[in-house]
Amino acid sequence: MRTVKWNGGLLDRIPGWKKVFVVSESRFQLHVITDGKRQSQELYDIVEAAVRGGADVIQLRYKSAPALDLYRLAEAIRPAIRGAGAGLLINDRVDVALATGAEGVHLAAKSLPIAATRPLMQGDQWIGCSVHSVEEAVKAEQVGASYITYGHIFATNSKPGLPPRGVDALRRVVDAVNIPVLAIGGITMENIDEVLATGVAGIAVIGAVMADLEPERAARELRQRMDASHHRPKKALPLAKALSDQHGRSEIVQ
Ligand SMILES: Cc1ncc(COP(=O)(O)OP(=O)(O)O)c(N)n1
Ligand SMILES: Cc1nc(C(=O)O)sc1CCOP(=O)(O)O
Ligand SMILES: [Mg+2]
């Protein structure tokens, strides 16, 4: 068997060569979560800018929306996300995630339980959930979460008045589980380095990209800082399928 590194181009068209994507085990992910209340521009424009800037995943989060509205929004932003080789997650609504062929669903505190959701999803679809303690993290892993999000790490407009949990607590969660952990809550260019040092799989942000008047630049700065970090995820999230083409490291196996 012959193996060569592949970074895109024509090699995969050579007859007899089978392209095998190797998930970039060392890449930190940038998840951008939508929030209609903290949105600097039209949703579509921000999403397009965020994925151009290097967001790996857009999570469509619109808690009060009826299924039809969420479905239509997902359909509207999907081409830009796919076109950039990024992934789409739907917050809370498993039905909308299935109907739109999204990469998965992010389950919130009042969503369906993971155990009830898992049988509904395709094998490679992600089920993420938010946790707020080591105990919840371990439980989520046991019942089949693909990844968890721990927060809020720093003070955030989303949780006014609530004390942040901090990076030491984040590190304890990362150490306690063997699934990817995303950090969330108040993460910016000012504090991202200390977050990456914990071994997280990446970061999830609202304000740092959604509320920025230049969302593409904002996403690109976070992306570049993650790529330049000398820290690495303890357990990385797989890249959305098409993303391997765009940014990931790949191998060709003959
Ligand atoms: C990736 C990611 N992490 C955390 C959250 C939490 O937000 P929310 O949807 O409000 O969930 P609960 O706080 O209700 O559990 C998220 N959406 N995405
Ligand atoms: C939606 C959400 N959930 C959190 C949690 O701790 O579960 S923190 C948070 C807000 C994230 O927004 P920003 O990046 O602007 O701080
Ligand atoms: Mg919440």
Q: State in Å: Cα 186 to ligand 2 middle.
A: 7
Quick: pLDDT tens for 26-85. 899 999 999 988 888 899 999 999 999 999 999 999 988 999 999 999 999 999 999 999
Query: Which residue among 206, 209, 212 has the greatest number of ligand 2 atoms within 8 angstroms of its CB, and so is best to mutate?
Result: 206
Residue 246 above 50 pLDDT?
no
Written in H, E and C, the secondary structure of the chain is CCEEEECCCCHHHCCCCEEEECCCCCCCEEEEECCHHHCCCCHHHHHHHHHHHCCCEEEECCCCCCHHHHHHHHHHHHHHHHHCCCEEEEECCHHHHHHCCCCEEEECCCCCCHHHHHHHCCCCCEEEEEECCHHHHHHHHHCCCCEEEECCCCCCCCCCCCCCCHHHHHHHHHHHCCCCEEEECCCCCCCHHHHHCCCCCEEEECHHHHCCCCHHHHHHHHHHHHHHCCCCCCCCCCCCCCHHHHCCCEEEEC
The annotation places the binding site for Mg(2+) at 92
* Predicted local distance difference test score (pLDDT) of residue 15: 53
Q: What's the whole-model pTM score? A: 0.87
Q: State in Å: Cα 253 to ligand 3 middle.
A: 44
Q: Whose CA is nearest to atom 8 of ligand 1?
A: 108
Domain boundaries, the chain: 25-253
Ligand 2, residues at Cβ distance < 6 Å:
130, 151-152, 156-159, 184-187, 205-208
* Annotation: CATH topology of 25-253: TIM Barrel (3.20.20)
Ligand 1 within 6 A of 34 CB?
no
Quick: pLDDT tens for 172-224. 999 999 999 999 999 999 999 999 999 999 999 999 999 999 999 999 999 99
